[in-house]
Amino acid sequence: MRKPTIQDVAVKAGVGVGTVSRVLNNHPAVRGVTRDAVLKAISDLEYTPNPHARRIAGGKSYTISVLLPVLTTEFYTRLLDGLEAAFQEARYDVAIFPLLDRSRLERYLGSHTLAYQADGLVMATYNLQALFHEHRLRTQQPTVLVDAYAEHVDCAYMDNVTGGRLAGEHAVKAPGPIHAIWVETELDQLFQTRVFEDRRSGFMGALAAAGRGLGRECVSSFDTLAARNTAAQLLDAVQTEPGGVPCTVFASADLLAGALLDEMAVRGLQPGVDVRVIGFDNQPWAAARGITTLHQPVESMGYEAATLLLTRLNGYRGPARARRFEPSLIVRGSA
Amino acid sequence: MRKPTIQDVAVKAGVGVGTVSRVLNNHPAVRGVTRDAVLKAISDLEYTPNPHARRIAGGKSYTISVLLPVLTTEFYTRLLDGLEAAFQEARYDVAIFPLLDRSRLERYLGSHTLAYQADGLVMATYNLQALFHEHRLRTQQPTVLVDAYAEHVDCAYMDNVTGGRLAGEHAVKAPGPIHAIWVETELDQLFQTRVFEDRRSGFMGALAAAGRGLGRECVSSFDTLAARNTAAQLLDAVQTEPGGVPCTVFASADLLAGALLDEMAVRGLQPGVDVRVIGFDNQPWAAARGITTLHQPVESMGYEAATLLLTRLNGYRGPARARRFEPSLIVRGSA
DNA sequence: TTGTAGGCGTTATCAG
DNA sequence: CTGATAACGCCTACAA
């Protein structure tokens, strides 16, 4: 009852192993009839190729390492969906390395791990290139950045500046003061991301272009409690100042927007009327709560990132490419 | 500049490949001098064996799949530290599969993935055995549960009943009412864990043994905001009822205890005097906040789980073994 | 105790 | 288009 091999399939289909290998790899030079016979043998035998054997025979590992932060957001689930879809089509395996902490990252970069054995590397959100040079990775693996941008590296990134701008352009459509809540950025330099800076600069730009100024700015860490407290502080200020309501608040992440809506409900403030709320991310629950927000084509970004890496693996040697993805505004009741 | 192979090492050390292979696998029949020479060649060349080649030649992949939830808690970082330490010693690679969502889990179990090819499986916290049967995994891989218990499977688990009991025994040392805050368990049956149930039953047992009853019970989801709200509710009730203070509160996770302390501070209630607080987990920040809590030997549990799996891989065929680990009470100012 | 040779399941390179 | 056959890097007898 041992696992069937390519040999077994070849015998059963009455062809040579080479032919079986060809149909396995979608090689064009196979006659239709032959291909069908092989395919039938494969399914009859419930044959699955041994990945280790192809790794050793082909000189490639057919494995991609994906390094990503472990924020338990839907964002990374969707990102992985996009990445995995593309890699699976190309028969690559993906190994996920959650960056739980800094020392773990360094271990991943040690030469004994799977990360080292992989054919390519996907780095999400954080640009760890610098660190890679410190550790002078011997085999410079093809690398692609996703949800991050850097020069001289292939990357697929979300244009958060544009996202911020769209939010700003929507904000200025209404009169009244405009406020914003930003997300506190990580302290560790290594784990820094420019996402929220970008959203801010896009937003500010739109306001400036419309000749509008920003009222209050608050900063909150990415945490429900902190978000709620920040929302309360902002509303306290807004409610006590003359002409404070109606106003518009750009909450630069849906988590913040949700907390703001909660706090507004307590105070009897009506979304879209007393306080117009614009979020960011289009989280799954954003629709139900009627949050006007920015949707990000995350899966597409992941898919494209994977595609960029695959072209490198297939021999592309040209200059680094950058693929930009634009968030789109989804208008709902909150603004 | 290509990766050195076992051949290169053999040449450099002036021995045959067989000898190199033997020292690689800790085979006893190698002379000390020879071994040293080989070892030197290995480190000179910075040679690392190709795991895929090992797999295909030896029939093992030397890879372990670790399935774990992605709660970004220190708990899983420590657990992985323990697991990886043991596996590294045995020259096994570990591939981490974060269980971001249900469909992803099913994909991991698909026959093409690394998880399927691994020599063994570690499942953390959740017992997914049932699912495995549904999917009738053909190659029943050796599996070990960690931070979870089930019959007929090797497992290393934290005795949360004892942890709860220790908390209870500490709680009953003081007079006054005793309250508790529990963590809401996951809705999806598949992703269920008994951890919090166990803490509860241990705690209740200790109270019963001491002839004491439980006052108020609250449930909170594992989220800072929810925890804070729950704490507020509890304190509202406690402060308004006669003889409500001083009292003792068992917060079954440090996250809950921290939120409780925050809310107490707002109300001017003194920890350890007005309200005695007992947490659970001994998070890194628990010491600074003076939280009396239960420390869990998480690394040891991980290490032991890995060891159990390794014995299976080395041919152990006996009955399932269960290794129990006991939390220990750390008394600080809060109780 | 050590070296040599055969084989593991694929892919890739040839002739045909 | 297809079938042999030589790699790929390692492990494991078997022989020395």
Mean pLDDT value across residues A297-325: 93
Q: Which residue of B has its CA nearest to A224?
A: B225
List residues of B whose CB lies inside 8 A of any A CB: 3, 46, 48, 50-53, 55-56, 61, 63, 70-72, 76-77, 80, 84, 88, 93, 95-98, 100-101, 104, 107, 111-114, 117, 139, 223-228, 259
Q: Calculate mean pLDDT across residues A81-110.
A: 79
Which pLDDT score is estimated for A130? Answer: 62
**Residue of chain A whose alpha carbon sits nearest to that of B95:** A95
A117·B51 Cβ contact <8 A:
yes
pLDDT tens digits for range A260-280: 999 999 999 999 999 999 999
- Interface of chain A toward chain B, CB-CB under 8 angstroms: 3, 48, 50-53, 55-56, 61, 63, 70-72, 76-77, 80, 84, 88, 93, 95-98, 100-101, 104, 107, 111-114, 116-117, 138-139, 223-228, 259
Nucleotide closest to B91 measured between CA and C1' = D10
Q: Which residue is nearest to nucleotide D3 (CA to C1')?
A: A16
150-209 of chain B touching strand D, CB 7 A cut-off: none
**pLDDT bracket for residue A115 (50, 70, 90):** low
Of B48, B96, B107, the CB nearest to A112: B48
Q: Å from B302 (CA) to C13 (C1')?
A: 48
Which nucleotides in chain C have some atom under 7 angstroms from a protein Cβ? Answer: 1-13
pLDDT averaged per 10 residues in sequence order, chain B, 335 residues: 82 88 84 87 84 79 82 82 88 79 68 66 78 52 87 92 97 96 74 83 97 95 89 95 92 95 94 96 92 96 95 86 96 93
**Confidence band (pLDDT; 50, 70, 90) for A109?**
low
> What pLDDT score does A138 carry?
41
| Residue that is written with structure tokens 């800072």 in the block | B224
A141 contact partners, CB below 8 Å, separation of at least 6 = A118, A119, A120, A121
Going from the N-terminus, what domains does chain B have, and what CATH number goes with each? Answer: 6-58 (1.10.260.40), 63-158+298-329 (3.40.50.2300), 160-296 (3.40.50.2300)
Other Cβ atoms within 10 Å of B314 Cβ, number:
8
Q: Do A95 and B114 touch (CB under 8 A)?
A: yes
Q: Is the dihedral of CA B298, B302, B305, B307 positive or negative?
A: negative
- pTM, whole model, 2 decimals? 0.81
pLDDT of residue A139: 46
Record the tokens describing residue B117, joined without a space. 């090819």
Highest mean pLDDT among A26-30, A148-152, A288-292, B126-130: A288-292
Strands B275-278, A178-183: pairing kind: unpaired
Chain B residues whose beta carbon lies within 8 Å of the beta carbon of residue A225: 223-225, 227-228, 259
Mean pLDDT of all residues in A227-242:
94
Q: Is A162 helix (H, G, I), strand (E, B) or coil?
A: helix
Strand D at less than 7 A from CB of B50: yes
C1' of nucleotide D8: residue with nearest CA: A57
Query: Which is more confidently placed, A91 or A328?
Result: A328
Measured CA angle at B256 (ends B250, B261), to 5 deg:
85
Distance A23 CA to D7 C1' (A): 21
User: What pLDDT, on a 0 to 100 scale, did the predictor assign at position B172?
Assistant: 97
Residue A86 parent element (H or E): helix A74-89
Pair B321, B293: CB distance under 8 Å: no
In angstroms, how far is D13 C1' from B58 CA?
A: 13
Q: Once rounded to an integer, what is the mean pLDDT over residues A206-212?
A: 96
Per-residue flag: A332 CB under 7 A of strand D: no
Q: How far is B55 from chain A (nearest CA, A)?
A: 7
Distance CA A231, CA B210 (A): 45
pLDDT of B225 reads 87
Q: Specify the DSSP class assigned to residue A9.
A: H
Does the CB of B26 sit below 7 A from strand D? no
For residue A183, is pLDDT > 80? yes
Alpha-carbon distance of B109 to B114, in angstroms, equals 9
**What nucleotide is nearest A32 when CA is compared to C1'?**
D1
- Using a CB-CB cut-off of 8 Å, the residues of chain B touching A72 are 70-72, 100
Sheet holding A154-158, edge to edge: A322-325, A154-158, A143-146, A120-124, A63-68, A93-98, B93-98, B63-68, B120-124, B143-146, B154-158, B322-325
**A118 CA, C9 C1': separation in Å?**
20
Q: What is the pLDDT of residue A94?
A: 84
Mutation for A interface: B1, B94, B225, B266, most A CBs within 10 A: B225
Does A184 have pLDDT greater than 50? yes
- Establish whether the CB of A19 is closer than 7 Å to any nucleic acid atom in strand D: yes
Alpha helices in chain B (DSSP H): 6-13, 17-24, 32-45, 51-58, 74-89, 102-108, 114-117, 129-134, 160-171, 195-209, 224-240, 254-267, 298-313
In this prediction, residue A136 carries a pLDDT of 47
Nearest chain A residue to B222, by CA = A224
Residue of chain B whose alpha carbon sits nearest to that of A116: B48
Bases of chain D below 7 A from a protein C-beta are 1-5, 7-14
The integer distance in angstroms from the CA atom of B17 to the C1' atom of C1 is: 14
Q: Which residues of B touch A224 (CB under 8 A)?
A: 223-226
From chain B, the residues in CB contact with A52 under 8 A are: 51-53, 55-56, 61, 117
- Give the Cβ contact number of residue A136 at 10 Å: 7
Question: Between A55, A98, A139, which is nearest B96 by CB?
Answer: A98
Q: What percentage of chain A reaches a pLDDT higher than 90?
A: 46
A29's CB contacts (< 8 A; 6+ apart) are A22
B97 neighbourhood in chain A, CB within 8 Å: 96
pLDDT band at A113 (very low <50, low <70, confident <90, very high): low
Which pLDDT value is given to residue B138? 41
In this prediction, residue A207 carries a pLDDT of: 97
The residues that bridge with A272 in the sheet, in sequence order, are: none
